[in-house]
């Protein structure tokens, strides 16, 4: 699987374009989605160069995997949707590959919430 070093999230990680940063650790970065689909919409990405979950699950180290999952939980607390921050819950979404609707070829989780969300899956575009 070939990683495109010029994808938009790689540029954000290199500091070449700005982002509205929420959280950063050794293994993960979180920032607001530029086109929010709900009142709260944050992206959580690994710092390593992984195309998607196929790539990450096969090739990431245990530390990177743990770091990304811990980051998801921390970000949910920071943005106030976690039950640990008196939030009412959220949805995390990982689009993977063409049928999954993945647009940016660097692994990312969406955390969306801040309001009741609709049905989980739609096949309509
Ligand atoms: P995907 O469809 O790949 O799962 O989601 C990519 C997400 O990245 C989209 O929700 C889109 O709004 C977001 N996005 C694309 N370009 C940028 C950008 O330059 N900055 C930020 N913060 N988000 C972006």
pLDDT of res. 120: 75
104 within ligand 1 shell (Cβ under 6 A): yes
Query: Counting every residue, how long is the chain?
Result: 125
- Please confirm, yes or no, whether 35 is among the known catalytic residues: no
Residues in the chain where the model's pLDDT stays below 70: 122, 124-125
Q: Is the pTM of this model over 0.85?
A: yes
Superfamily covering domain 19-113? HIT-like (3.30.428.10)
pLDDT of residue 118: 82
CA 33–ligand 1 middle distance (angstroms) = 6
Note whether 90 and 112 are within 8 A (CB): yes
Q: Domain segments of the chain: what residues? A: 19-113
What pLDDT is stored for residue 119 in this prediction? 79
pLDDT at residue 125, as a whole number: 60
CA of 59 to the centre of ligand 1 (A): 23
């Amino acid at each position: 699987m070939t990683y495109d070093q010029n994808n938009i999230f790689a540029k954000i990680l290199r500091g070449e374009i700005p982002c509205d940063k929420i959280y950063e650790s050794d293994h993960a970065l979180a920032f607001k989605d530029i086109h929010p689909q709900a009142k709260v919409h944050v992206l959580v990405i690994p710092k390593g160069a992984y195309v998607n979950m196929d790539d990450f699950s096969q090739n990431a180290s245990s530390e990177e995997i743990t770091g990304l999952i811990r980051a998801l939980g921390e970000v949910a607390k920071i943005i106030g949707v976690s039950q640990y921050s008196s939030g009412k819950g959220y949805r995390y979404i990982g689009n993977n590959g063409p049928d999954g609707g993945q647009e940016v070829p660097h692994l990312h989780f969406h955390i969306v919430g801040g309001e009741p969300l609709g049905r989980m899956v739609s096949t309509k575009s």
